[in-house]
């Protein structure tokens, strides 16, 4: 059976896009190759014509998920005057909590990525460096770069843990309190270097 030109690339991109969502939703361990291919509407047998291994797909899916998250953050910044606050509020929102499949890779996969291949960890590490730089650039220019980067690292670490806790608890009120306390703490930390 012959396919139109570009069919193979389109199929590969679809697999990566589906994997990026499924990995964030269910975790790496919960998604076998057969499951990921079925989610993309394909058979398990076609997997190896697109990827040499599951790890290769995970690397590309993590890259795709990072790009999706960066686009979301860019949109948030472009539509808000108070960019740092908007990023924090968006990250620690009920929407982000309730939709891990479209959210931050760190908030869903960091513990699993820590046990993954050097290639996957390198992709993730690069994205964290970029996120630190982006957040630091939104903090008051009157503070030193070192202070801004330190706050950015604390905010990334804190918000990642907070979104994980807010998702893990089975008490809705506590979950909302975690998100609100996190927002207040991040904004307070940012204000502390403004003086």
Note the pLDDT tens digit of each residue in 140-172.
Answer: 999 999 999 999 999 999 999 999 999 999 999
Q: 65: domain CATH number?
A: 1.10.357.10
Do residues 170 and 161 make contact, with C-beta atoms less than 8 angstroms apart? Answer: no
Whether 135 is covered by a domain: the verdict is: yes
pLDDT at position 195, please? 64
Structural domain tally of the chain? 1
- Helix ranges (DSSP H) in the chain: 7-26, 33-39, 54-78, 83-91, 94-98, 105-113, 118-138, 145-168, 172-192
Stretches where the chain sits below pLDDT 50 are none
Whether 2 is covered by a domain: the verdict is: no
pTM of the model: 0.87
pLDDT at position 140, please? 93
Whether 13 is covered by a domain: the verdict is: yes
> What residues make up the domain containing 148?
7-192
Whether 171 is covered by a domain: the verdict is: yes
Buried b (16+ CB within 10 A) or exposed e, 59-77: bbbbbbbbebbeebbeebb
Radius of gyration of the chain (CA): 19
């Amino acid at each position: 059976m012959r396919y139109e030109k570009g069919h193979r690339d389109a199929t590969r991109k679809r697999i990566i896009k589906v994997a990026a969502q499924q990995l964030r939703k269910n975790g790496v361990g919960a998604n076998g190759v057969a499951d990921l291919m079925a989610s993309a509407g394909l058979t398990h047998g076609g997997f190896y014509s697109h990827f040499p291994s599951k790890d290769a797909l995970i690397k590309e899916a993590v890259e795709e998920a990072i790009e999706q998250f960066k686009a979301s953050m860019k949109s948030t910044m472009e539509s808000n005057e108070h960019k740092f606050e908007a990023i924090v509020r968006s990250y620690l929102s009920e929407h982000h909590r309730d939709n891990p499949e479209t959210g931050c890779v760190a908030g869903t996969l960091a513990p699993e990525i820590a046990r993954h291949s050097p290639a996957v960890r390198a992709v993730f590490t690069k994205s964290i460096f970029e996120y630190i730089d982006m957040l630091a650039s939104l903090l008051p220019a009157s503070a030193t770069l070192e202070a801004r980067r330190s706050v950015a690292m604390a905010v990334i670490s804190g918000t990642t843990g907070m979104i994980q806790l807010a998702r893990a608890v089975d008490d809705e009120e506590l979950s909302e309190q975690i998100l609100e306390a996190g927002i207040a703490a991040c904004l307070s930390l940012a204000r502390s270097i403004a003086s």
